[in-house]
Amino acid sequence: MSVADSTTADIGLPEEKVAELAIDKNDNVEKESDDDEDGEEEEGAGEGEKTQKKKRKNKKKNKKKKKTGLGAAGQTSPPSIPVSQLFPNNSYSVGQICDYVDDNKYRTTSEEMRARDRLSEQKLVDLRRAAEVHREVRQYARSVIRPGMDLTTIAEMIENGTRTLVEERGFESGIGFPTGLSINHCAAHYTPNAGDFVEIKEDDVLKVDFGVHVNGHIIDSAFTMAWNDRYKPLLDAVKDATNTGIREAGIDVRLGDIGAAIQEVMESYEIELDGKVLPIRPIRNLCGHNIGQYLIHSGKSVPIVANRDQTRMEEGELFAIETFGTTGSGYVQEEGVCSHYAKTSDGQPRLPSAKKLLHSITKNFGTLPFCRRYLDRIGEKQYYLGLRHLVDQDIVTAYPPLVDIKGSYTAQAEHTFILRPTVKEVLSRGDDY
C-alpha cells in the first residue's frame, strides 16, 4: 500500500439524489442458447466415401433478462450509493457458509431445520445488508488510510460512509458503535474526541473496529493495518487465531474449548523486533461476545485463552469472534481519556443537566454505544458534568481505552457469524479478510 501522500478523503452524503445514479436493470443479462439438431447423420453408400458430419442449427430463443442490481461492483469511490439500491429486492450477498460437522451434521439437510431457518429470514436480510455496508466502507477505508492521516479524519470518513450506505434512520439503521482507532500498545476502545488530531506514523500498528446495524442487528468486525513489514507475523497471528475460533465455533460447543484452540494458535507465532525474538501472546482479559438486538455485548463471552467455562453456544445466536495479540504482557488495563459510553440501566439521575442528557441519549442511541463526538453532532453542549453524573450513578457505563505496557504492539481481527439452524454463516467475511 502506498504511503507517499496523506489522503483526507471524506465520504459524505451526496448532495444530489442517489437515484440519479440509476441502475441499468438490463445489466447482467443471462444469455441462453439451446442447440437443436436439424438433420441426421448420413452414412456413405459406397466404399471410400466419407461419413458426413452431423449438422446442427442454433434455434433462436428470446434472451432471458435477469433483472438484478449492479451489486458492490456498481459502487462509487468514495462509496456514496446506499447498498439497498445496489442490491434490489433484498438480494444481499450471503456470507461464508460453513456446514456443521459431527453430531450436528444432520442439520444441513434436515427439513425441520430448514423450516426453522425460514423463520429468521428477515433478521438474515438485515444482517447481510449491514455486512455489505461494512465490506464496502472498509474496502475504501483500507485503500486510503495511511501515515500522515489524523484519527478524526479517519473516524469521520468511516462513519459518514456508514451513514450514507446504510441510509441512517435512527433505530432503523445506522452506526453500531463508535469507530475504534487504537494505536500500538492501545488495544481497544479508543476513538478521537473533539480536537484530537493524532496522526498515524509510519511505524504504527492501527486497529480499526467499527459496527453497522439494521433494525438493531449489529455487524461487528475489525482489522489491523501496519505499514512496516516487520509486523506481519503479529497481523498473521490474530487472523489465524480468529479464523480458528470461527472454525471451532458451533451449536453446543463450549466457550472454554474455543478459547483453548485460539490460544494454541496465537502462541505458535513469534516476531522479531529490533533484533529480539518475542512471543506473541493473546490478551487474556479481552474476549469475543454474543450480540443481541441493540446490544453489542449480550451476556456470553468467548475467551481467547483456555479456561473452564462450560457455557455452550446455542442455535440462533449471533457472535463476534475477536482475538487480540500482543508483544507485551498479555493483559490490558484502563488508561487515558474516555470516549466510549453506553446506557446500561434505566435509573433516574438527580442532577437536572443529567436528566436532560439522559433523555437525549435514550432518544438518539438507546442501548447502542456512543462517544462524545456523537453528542457534539446532535447538538449537546456543556454535557460533561451531566455525563459524569450518569456514569457515577451506573446509568451509563464508561469504556476507557484499554492498553498493554508502553512500547508493546497489539493487533486485532474480528468477524461476526450466526449459528443458523442449518449452517454457520460468517456474515462479515469478504475478499479482504
- Give me the active site residues, please: 209, 220, 289, 297, 322, 414
Please check whether residue 157 is in contact with residue 210, taking contact to mean a CB–CB distance below 8 angstroms.
no
Which cell numbers in the block locate residue 366?
A: 438507546
- Cα dist. 58→31, 37, 41, 53, 162 in Å? 14, 8, 17, 16, 49
Which residues are paired to 30 by β-bridges?
64
Which cell numbers in the block locate residue 197?
A: 488530531
- State whether residue 163 is helix, strand or coil: helix
Closest CA to 84 of 129, 138, 33, 137: 129
Q: What is the dihedral of CA 214, 240, 401, 140, to 10 degrees?
A: -50
Alpha carbon distance 258, 261 (integer Å): 5
Which cell numbers in the block locate residue 15?
A: 448532495
Q: What is the DSSP string of 100-150?
A: --GGGGGGGT-HHHHHHHHTTHHHHHHHHHHHHHHHHHHHHHHHH--TT-B
Alpha helices per DSSP H over 249-397: 255-266, 352-364, 372-377, 384-392
If one counts every other C-beta atom within 10 angstroms of the C-beta of residue 42, the result is 12
Alpha carbon distance 70, 87 (integer Å): 7
Residue for grid cell 474476549: 287
- State whether residue 280 is helix, strand or coil: coil
- β-pairing, 276-279 with 270-273? antiparallel
Please check whether residue 160 is in contact with residue 13, taking contact to mean a CB–CB distance below 8 angstroms.
yes
